[in-house]
Amino acid sequence: MKKSDAQTIVDLLKKAYPEASCSLDFETPMQAVVSVILSAQCTDERVNKTTPELFKICKTPKDFADIDINKLEELIHPCGFYKNKAKNIKLCSKQILENFNGKVPNTMEDLMSLAGVGRKTANVVLLEVFGIANGIAVDTHAKRISNLMGLSSKKEPEKIEQDLIKFFPKDTLKDINHLLVFHGRKTCVARKPKCDTCPVNIFCKYYRRNFL
Ligand code: SF4
C-alpha cells in the first residue's frame, strides 16, 4: 500500500467517525491503568459499568494497593478473569508505590515493567493519560482491519504496530488508535461486517474479493 492511500483511509475514517476517542471512563492515571487492565477480554462498555463503584473508593496507587483482595475481586467480577486481574492490579499498584514514588510512570519501558501491563496497555496509558502517541495499541480491531486493508500482513500485534507506524506521521498516531477501534466496533464488526456502507471498502481485500 502507498502512504498516500494510507492517509486517504485515515481521512475517510475521520470523516465517518468524528467522535472517535477513548471510550474508557477514569479520572486519575491509576484508574486509567486499572481500566485498561480490566478491558482485556472484556468490552469497554462493561468496564465502564463496573468501575464506578470501585473508583469511588480507589483513586491512587496506594488505594489499590490497600484494598482487600476479596473486595477487589468482588467489585471487578463482571469484567471476567477477575482473580488474575485483581492480582495484577494489586501487584502493579505496589510496584508503582515502590519503584516509581507512587506515580504512574510515563515511558513505555517503565509501564511495561508493571504487572498486567503489556505493550498494548502501555500504549493506551501513554496516549490517554500523558498525551504521548509513540505507537499504536493493536487490539483485535486494529489487527483485523490492518490485515484487511493491506496495511500489514503480520499476525503478531507488535509486528503489526511496526508496520502501521511506517505508514503514518507521528502526529496522526493518536487518531489512528481511536479510528481503528471505532471502525471495528461500528462497521467492520468481526462476525458481520457492514461492507456495503463501509467508508473504506475500496481499499479492503475482503470487499474486493467478494463484492467487486
Ligand atoms: S469492506 Fe467490510 S470487511 Fe472490509 S474493512 Fe469494510 S467492513 Fe471491514
**pLDDT (0 to 100) of residue 170:** 80
What is the C-alpha separation between 5 and 100, in angstroms, rounded? 42
pTM, whole model, 2 decimals? Answer: 0.83
Domain 29-130 architecture: Orthogonal Bundle (1.10)
Task: Say how many Å lie between the CA of residue 179 and the centre of ligand 1.
Answer: 14
**pLDDT (0 to 100) of residue 175:** 86
**pLDDT (0 to 100) of residue 190:** 86
Task: Say how many Å lie between the CA of residue 183 and the centre of ligand 1.
Answer: 9
What is the C-alpha separation between 34 and 112, in angstroms, rounded? 14
Q: For the chain, which residues score pLDDT lower than 50?
A: none
Residue spans of the domains in the chain: they are 3-20+137-211, 29-130
- By CB neighbour count within 10 A (0-12 exposed, 13-18 middle, 19+ buried), where does 59 fall? middle
Which positions are catalytic?
A: 120, 139
Task: Say how many Å lie between the CA of residue 50 and the centre of ligand 1.
Answer: 31
pLDDT above 70 covers a percentage of the chain that reads 100
**pLDDT (0 to 100) of residue 172:** 83
User: Burial letters for 189-205: b for 16+ Cβ neighbours within 10 Å, e otherwise?
Assistant: eeeebeeeebbbbebbe
**pLDDT (0 to 100) of residue 177:** 82
**Pocket residues: Cβ below 6 A from ligand 1:** 145, 148, 187-188, 193-195, 198, 200-201, 204, 206-207
**pLDDT (0 to 100) of residue 45:** 94
Cell 493506551 maps to which residue?
A: 124
Nearest CA to ligand 1 atom 8: 188
What is the C-alpha separation between 39 and 46, in angstroms, rounded? 8
Q: Which three cell numbers stand for residue 190?
A: 468481526
What CATH topology corresponds to 3-20+137-211? Answer: Endonuclease Iii, domain 2 (1.10.1670)
Measured from the Cα of 207, ligand 1's closest atom is 1
